[in-house]
Amino acid sequence: MLIDQLYTPDLDDEAAHAVQVKKFMPTGFPSPAANYMGDFINLNEYLNIRAASCFLARVSGNGMAKAGIHANDLLVIDRALPLQNQCLVLATLEEEFVVRRYCEAAGRKTLETDGEPKTVTELASGSEFAIWGVVSWVVHRCLPEAKTSAVKGIRKRTGA
């Protein structure tokens, strides 16, 4: 599984408030669940993408489909989270960004795909790799006609 694009979060307060759901305007009979509704949800806070250690990446390929990551999904990656056995990571292998499962067993550290055929890369000293961060969330679109160029809310950065 490869990375197509990297993004930094938009920390504009207006963008953060755009994802809040504050109040429903019911018509007809009130909902029995009305007493259990929260005030709002802010996806920037919930997904922790306002943290300076976080960034977003769009993936291509289905090498990690068994882990729930599919082509065109958006990953939230946190550089501050510690590496743990079996966590998903964004890494560079041979100068290419990849998403892999980090594994530790019997003193060996490896990066593994979940697809078939399974690829295992041993992280030996002297090999060319870098762990960029831990995948904390996967944003997966469910509509079949989804296209990355038509996804709203992602703006291309202009300038340098």
Mean pLDDT in runs of 10 for the chain (160 residues)? 64 51 56 62 79 89 88 92 95 90 92 86 82 94 65 54
pLDDT, residue 19, reads 42
Cis upstream peptide for 26 (omega within 30°): no
Q: What are phi and psi of 18, to 5 degrees?
A: -65, -20
**CB–CB of 137/78 below 8 Å?**
no
Phi/psi of residue 91, nearest 5 degrees: -135, 165
Tell me what pLDDT residue 138 has.
Answer: 95
Which pLDDT value is given to residue 13?
55
Q: Which of 27, 106, 99, 33 is nearest to 68 (CA)?
A: 99
| Amino acid 22: pLDDT | 44
The whole-number pLDDT of residue 17 equals 46
Q: What is the pLDDT of residue 36?
A: 60
Q: Where do the domains of the chain lie?
A: 2-27+38-145
**Which CATH number is associated with domain 2-27+38-145?**
2.10.109.10
User: For residues 79 and 81, what is the distance between their CA atoms, to the nearest angstrom?
Assistant: 6
pLDDT at 115: 77
Residue 142: the pLDDT is 84
The string over 46-61, giving b where at least 16 C-beta atoms fall within 10 Å of a residue's C-beta and e elsewhere, is: ebbbebeebbbbbbeb
